Amino acid sequence: MSDAEFARGQSADEAIPDSARSGEFELFYRGTVQQLVRFLMLQGASLADARDIAQDTLSSAYERWHKLDNPRAWSYRVASRAFIRKVVSTKEKLTGRCGRRSLDRARS
């Protein structure tokens, strides 16, 4: 870090050109996105939900890329929490009535 950057309060990561930072992120993204989708599906997410959560998570990772010490761990933690929030906020849908007749049919 140069003296000028230090005087302006910039960290070494902030001094890295955006093109280099983008290149690092691109490598990270390509190596992580499919594994993150699989991880979410193993947690119980549908393919569509897993893809959406992974995309949102990695988009957030890009926004704070220069601040992340361990982007892989951060991404898995954030994606897992996002999936849990989705599950908890999803309301169950009843598929039909369950009355006396339904119970009698199920027993026979």
pLDDT in tens, 4-18: 444 444 444 454 556
Cα 45 to Cα 15, 40, 91, distances in angstroms: 39, 6, 15
Give percent of the chain above pLDDT 90: 59
Q: Give the dihedral of Cα atoms 24, 28, 30, 35; nearest 10 deg.
A: 180
Average pLDDT across the chain, whole number: 81
Render pLDDT for 27-64 as a digit per residue (tens, 0 to 9): 999 999 999 999 999 999 999 999 999 999 999 999 99
- The better pLDDT of the pair 65, 21 is held by 65
pTM: 0.67
Q: Which CATH architecture has domain 18-88?
A: Orthogonal Bundle (1.10)
